[in-house]
Structure 1
Amino acid sequence: MSKNISIVDDHKLFAGSLRVLVNSFDGFKVLDYFKNGQELVDHVQSDLELPDVLLLDMRMPVMDGLQTMTWLKENQPDLKVLALTVDQEDETIIRMLKLGARGYLLKDIDPDEFELALNRIVDTGYYTNQLISEAYRNEGKAEKYEVLTGREQEFLRYACSELTYKAIASEMNLSPKTVENYRESLFNKLRVKSRVGLVMVAIKEGYFKI
């Protein structure tokens, strides 16, 4: 049975091309198209059919991607959402992950990787890539990490917030240099290369609850 996909994107031309692409994938078909988050909310509140995966743009009028994810977290937390956008700011990615997005892709993604992402989200519930964390490139393999100290765990929880590293240093009563050392230590222990990678591991390993 085909998996249903819904698209939320205000660019009609892109959405039309995306519909054609998704329908060309084996086992997938586009169920609905919405121009913004509010149209999606109206659809959900009408108790109409929900998709297996929702493709969500970030920059939209009326109700953008972050506002839509905030609403979905409160009202449809089990809906699998894959962000598909041009926005690659770390802050935006982190906020989307905290709100429950199952993956984050840029619109210039290779079609093969896009199809892989859809299948992974359907099969495992999430998809990660180099944009988020190289540590999850080979999903399905158990990851074993070094034991984190209490202060490292504390820093990791702060890293999942929207605080800057300077602000984290202030909250932890540490110097910026010490916080930088914690960051580099966690990069090594958790085998990631970015703050987004830290957030993904923190969520997956239970250090931070969304």
Structure 2
Amino acid sequence: MKKRIAIVDDHELMAKALSSLVQKFDQYEVLYEVSGGLELMNRFGVGLVPDIVLLDVHMPGMDGYEVAKWLKDNYPAVRVLALSMNDKEEAIVKMLRNGAGGYLLKGCKPHEFKAALDSIASKGFYYTEYITSHLVKSLNSSKGADPITEMGFNERELNFIRMACSDLTYNEIADKMCVSPRTVDGYRESVFQKMDVKSRVGMVIKAIKRNLISIE
């Protein structure tokens, strides 16, 4: 049985090009093309659930990060391959953490696209040469000093970091830690200062790099 694919891309020409390419592969068929996350949700709502979603990252309205997270939460069996022109580490990490099984640059060769589809279909994940040679190396680049000792984290701050690298809101973190939201704000400010970051996303990326958390 052919694997059914949904294409989510707000650029119609790109969506059509992807669809045409997929149709050349015997093992796959394009179920539909949509221009955004809300359209995808509507199709899912009437039972049109594909096996694989080819997902653009940067789209107006509901972007690829949000769509990937929605799929992860509501349809975990649907496999996601992100497609983007953005090769920035932050974008890749965020998509992988939000549930994408692979991240492919739109400028890739057709044979690499086919390899990605085959890997996503059979194993649920696909890591390009860029990710394996550059990103993973980056994520594991700081293996010298113990980061907990080096940055001076206490146990409460470490607990906060692990929770903040999940999908919990800061208020939910406060509830789980049995402290006030103001206390959590204090943990956040302290952690941001010790990590030398200015945002929650920056904290997540640095936590991965320093092996404080891992990508599952």
Judge conservation of contact 2:89–2:135 (CA < 8 Å) in 1.
no
Q: CA deviation at 1:68?
A: 1.0
Consecutive unaligned residues in structure 1, runs of 5 or more = 138-145, 163-167, 177-194
Cα separation, 2, equivalents of 1:107 and 1:23: 17
Q: CA deviation at 1:150?
A: 8.7
In structure 2, relative to structure 1, the CA distance for the partners of 1:108 and 1:69 (3 Å cut) is same
Judge conservation of contact 1:129–1:136 (CA < 8 Å) in 2.
no
- Are positions 1:208 and 2:214 aligned together? yes
- Residue 93 of structure 2 corresponds to which residue in structure 1? 94
Judge conservation of contact 1:128–1:136 (CA < 8 Å) in 2.
no
Q: What is the TM-score of this pair, normalised by structure 1?
A: 0.66
Q: What is the TM-score of this pair, normalised by structure 2?
A: 0.65
- Residue 57 of structure 2 corresponds to which residue in structure 1? 58
Encode CA deviations 1:70-120: one digit per residue, 9 max, x unaligned. 222221122100001112221111111111100000111110010001001
**Equivalences for 1:174-185 in 2 at 5 Å?**
none
Cα separation, 2, equivalents of 1:62 and 1:175: 31
Q: Between Structure 1 and Structure 2, which shows a larger proportion of helix residues?
A: 2
Cα separation, 2, equivalents of 1:56 and 1:175: 32
Q: CA deviation at 1:49?
A: 2.7
- Residue 129 of structure 1 corresponds to which residue in structure 2? 128
Secondary structure of 1:67's partner? helix
**Equivalences for 1:1-210 in 2 at 5 Å?**
1-46=1-46, 48-134=47-133, 151=148, 161=165, 171=191, 208=214
Cα separation, 2, equivalents of 1:116 and 1:30: 17
Q: CA deviation at 1:126?
A: 0.4
Cα separation, 1, equivalents of 2:123 and 2:26: 18
Judge conservation of contact 2:5–2:52 (CA < 8 Å) in 1.
yes
Consecutive unaligned residues in structure 2, runs of 5 or more = 137-142, 150-157, 167-187, 197-204
Give aligned-pair identity as a percent. Answer: 37
Supply the RMSD in Å over aligned alpha carbons: 3.5
Number of positions where the alignment pairs a residue of Structure 1 with one of Structure 2:
168
Of 73-82 and 31-40, deviating more is: 73-82
Secondary structure of 2:129's partner? coil
- Residue 185 of structure 1 corresponds to which residue in structure 2? none
Secondary structure of 1:104's partner? strand
Secondary structure of 1:132's partner? helix
Q: CA deviation at 1:174?
A: 6.7
Cα separation, 2, equivalents of 1:11 and 1:18: 11
Cα separation, 2, equivalents of 1:3 and 1:78: 13
Secondary structure of 1:10's partner? coil
Judge conservation of contact 1:120–1:127 (CA < 8 Å) in 2.
yes
Cα separation, 2, equivalents of 1:55 and 1:175: 34
Cα separation, 2, equivalents of 1:174 and 1:37: 37
Cα separation, 2, equivalents of 1:175 and 1:39: 39
Cα separation, 2, equivalents of 1:9 and 1:41: 14
